[in-house]
Chains A and B, each alone.
Chain A
Amino acid sequence: MQRDHIWWQTARVVVLGGFLAFAIFPLYWIVITSLKGQKEIFSLPIRYWPDEVTLLNYVEIFRISHFQVYIWNSFLVSLFASALVVVIAMLGGYVLARFSFRGKREVMFGFLVTQMIPIFIGMAPLYVMMSKMHILNSLFSLILIYTVMLIPFCTIIMSGFFQRIPNALEEAAMMDGCSRISALFRVIVPIMLPGIAATFIFAFVQCWNELIMAVLFIDEESVKTIPVAMNAFIKKYDIEWGAMSAATVLSVIPTMLLFAFCQKYLVEGLTQGAVKG
């Protein structure tokens, strides 16, 4: 290691500090807004710390909307879709990592291409399909479409995880009389658990955050997810910023917890997968 110049160290502190401020400030601001009273939000001069901390905005969002329903819907959709994705991606990723067979290149290419084309071209036909299947305005439509949207990326990532596990492990298990599938679940899956968890959480967060498809497929109150409901609120002329900031904070918290929990694995897994893909 080389010694650092003093100006280099200073530059480093300034740059890193600057980025931290830049990254955190919007989050800080929305939290602060959510803790201000209605009057204080719309009064000048702007306060950078609330005069009086209050949770009224959080009460308000549950009063003016069925926010608990939206949270539950978002949770259900994200949970089922990401569980489904993980299982499907695991099977597909395993095969892509372990076997060479005719059509493998085509399948990989087919998955990669879906990452490059905008899903919006298929938006209108998808809407027509969903309507013919009579699943518009149902959570099922979202579970289905989110699963589909996440399969290619997660399969590629999973295949990367499998490639890092030596083949010898399951071969040994199969020698001992395991079938391939039970070798997969008894031997490989336990080792891969961190990677599987990272993929699951990645998928969960993606579903939790998705807006456009949800807006397209859902407009009934009882099946709205959080983004759909909030979107309906901000499309009105007057936005109730107090309630909206509280809703924002509430819907960011799960993401934040999940991200903090597995940020290291997530970043590692995704960069590995994407670089080697």
Chain B
Amino acid sequence: MQTEKPIVVTKEPFVSPPKKPFRLSKEGAFICLCLLPAVLFVGIFTYYPLLRGIIMSFQNYTLFNLLDVRFIGLDNFFAVLTSPEFPRVALNSFYWVAVSLFFQLLFGFALALFMRRRFRGRGIYQAFVFFPWAMSGFLIGLIWRWMFNAQFGVINDLLVKSGLIAAPIPFLADGKWALAAVIIANIWYGVAFFAIMILAALQSIPEELYEAAAMDGAGRIQQFWSVTLPYILPTMLVTILLRVIWILNFPDIIYAMTNGGPAGSTHIFATYMIDKVIFGQDYGQASAVGVIIVLLLLVFTVFYVKATRMEKGGDF
């Protein structure tokens, strides 16, 4: 507990002497000292690389030729935006976020609604159903990759047995199916998060509201529309926004399941960018992709907040 000393020792008066206007009070010193590690770490290893990355996106920065780092204006952005794979990556990113989010929300909501009332074994039930949320995206990708295996995968087996398909489908090797497969794995992962957040919101609704609504003769469905939904809407809006951002920036499952393949058919912005960093080694273009992601998210967030009037809710 080294930090203890300076605070105990400094017994200066609260009024600073006139010659040193920046002298901290005892309390000020304590505040600074406590916040310093957090601010310093985040500043140096998050904000600095971030700014550096933005600068890099305007530079010719490839690992093959580090002696020739120079500013090239918007060339990296043009190169990325006009590359043949870009439209596919953008569209994939949209489906990845929209479809995953829709089903995560739908299932998470349903799960939370049915879990709201106590039942025997709810604690254990909750532990099992919420567990995917604690798993690593990488392992989830691996497990689903095995389940989607063309020849020995259990999903093909179940589909054939139930008569839904006549012959096994090589889901992850087929450009038509691979994106759907990674999205299904992502849905499996994300349901729990929505369920947790919505369940917490549901449990904070005072029971009197329902009693009052029931007195007024509202049925279960009416109660849902007039009590439940309005009450939890702010939580849901915030959760949805956070999730959109988070899912767009979540490469792990795709990385493990298909690594963007086959033939780039499952790349989203995040995996595309990692591909450029780790294999392409073109840091300029990779950073340009990153800046594009941030700009998209920024525009989306502004529109989302405006459209949902979240700023008035003040629940942020």
Name A residues whose Cβ lies closer than 8 Å to a Cβ of B.
2, 8, 11-12, 15-16, 19-20, 22-24, 26-27, 29-30, 33, 41-42, 44-46, 88-89, 91-92, 94-96, 99, 101, 107, 110-111, 114-129, 144-145, 147-149, 151-152, 155, 179-182, 185, 205, 208-212, 215-216, 227, 230-231, 234-235, 241, 244-245, 248, 251-252, 255-256, 258-260, 263-264, 267-268, 270-272, 274-275, 277
Contacts and interface: CB of A to CB of B under 8 A. Distances in A.
Interface string B136-148: 1111101111110
Contact of B245 (A110, A116, A148, A255): A116
Contact of B138 (A89, A111, A144, A209): A209
Interface of B: 1, 3-4, 7-8, 27-28, 30-31, 33-35, 37-39, 41-42, 45-50, 52-54, 56, 61, 107, 110-111, 114-115, 123, 125-132, 134-140, 142-147, 149, 151-152, 154, 157, 188, 191-192, 196-197, 200-201, 210, 214, 220, 235, 238, 242, 245, 248-249, 251-252, 255-256, 259, 270, 273-274, 277-278, 283, 286-287, 290-291, 293-294, 297, 301, 315-316
A24 B273 CA distance: 33
Binding site of B, secondary structure by majority: helix, strand, loop or mixed? Answer: helix
B127 A260 contact: yes
A209 B251 CA distance: 13
A117 B50 CA distance: 9
Nearest to A95: B34
Given A46-B154, A99-B27, A208-B136, A234 B256 contact: yes
B256 A126 contact: no
A107 B107 contact: no
Given A95-B35, A116-B245, A181-B3, A248 B143 contact: yes
A107 B36 CA distance: 11
A259 B131 CA distance: 7
Contacts of B200: 267-268, 271-272, 275
Contact of B46 (A119, A205, A241, A255): A119
Contacts of A205: 134
A263 B127 contact: yes
B130 A12 contact: no
Contacts of B8: 179
Contacts of B290: 118, 120-123
Contacts of A19: 107, 110-111, 129, 191
Contact of B270 (A120, A148, A179): A120
Contacts of A272: 200
B34 A91 contact: yes
Given A99-B31, A151-B42, A255 B138 contact: no
B125 to A, nearest CB: 7
A180 B242 CA distance: 36
Given A16-B125, A275-B235, A94 B286 contact: no
9 contacts: A29-B154, A33-B146, A42-B151, A114-B42, A123-B277, A124-B283, A151-B38, A267-B130, A275-B315
B139 A252 contact: yes
Contacts of A147: 41
